[in-house]
Amino acid sequence: MTVEQKLAARGLALPVPPQPLGAYRATVEANGTLRISGQVPLRDGQVVFKGRVGEALTVEQGKQAAELTALNVLAQIHRHLGGFDRLVQLIHVEGYVASAEGFYDQPGVIDAASNLFADVLGDKAGHTRAVFSQTQLPANAAIILVVTAQIEPQK
């Protein structure tokens, strides 16, 4: 099954890749590596999940935000590569969670993104990961994901 078919089986589809929120590029390819700039839980140009997990958002809503953000990462990869054929594997995922004071389950929230990657990318999803707690994130987003992937060179 293709990535798109696996997403459809979960009731999901690749969104239109969001435009950067500032003066930078969404993706950069260099020497067999693709860097995906920080993605947030955007849908139709709007941040869907705002505020701190454990305060304005429940843990479940934080996980939904992480999954939507992961979809945006996949959309950026798809746009840049013209599909997923050149994707060798995800290398590293950095997850930033806007967190209420005393909230410590950031890894559990970002697991929703890692699990989506594993479900739809299979062996290409293996990655290292770092998770960070933040008091607030740009645009009041609940989640930011920054991803590095290994890709095959263009032919």
Q: Tens of pLDDT along 6-44?
A: 999 999 999 999 988 889 999 999 999 999 999 999 999
Note the pTM of the prediction, 2 decimals.
0.96
Q: Tens of pLDDT along 40-87?
A: 999 999 999 999 999 999 999 999 999 999 999 999 999 999 999 999
* Residue 13 backbone dihedrals phi, psi, to 5 degrees: -145, 155
pLDDT at 130 over 80: yes
> Residue 67: which residues within 8 A CB-CB, separation 6 or more?
112, 113, 116
CA angle 153, 93, 100 (to 5 degrees): 155
Class of domain 3-10+26-151: alpha beta
pLDDT at residue number 154: 82
pLDDT at 153 over 90: no
Domain ranges in the chain are: 3-10+26-151
Q: For 12, how many CA atoms within 13 A lie in the half-sphere containing its CB?
A: 22
Determine the Cα–Cα distance for residues 26 and 11; give it in Å rounded to an integer.
Answer: 26
pLDDT at 133 over 80: yes
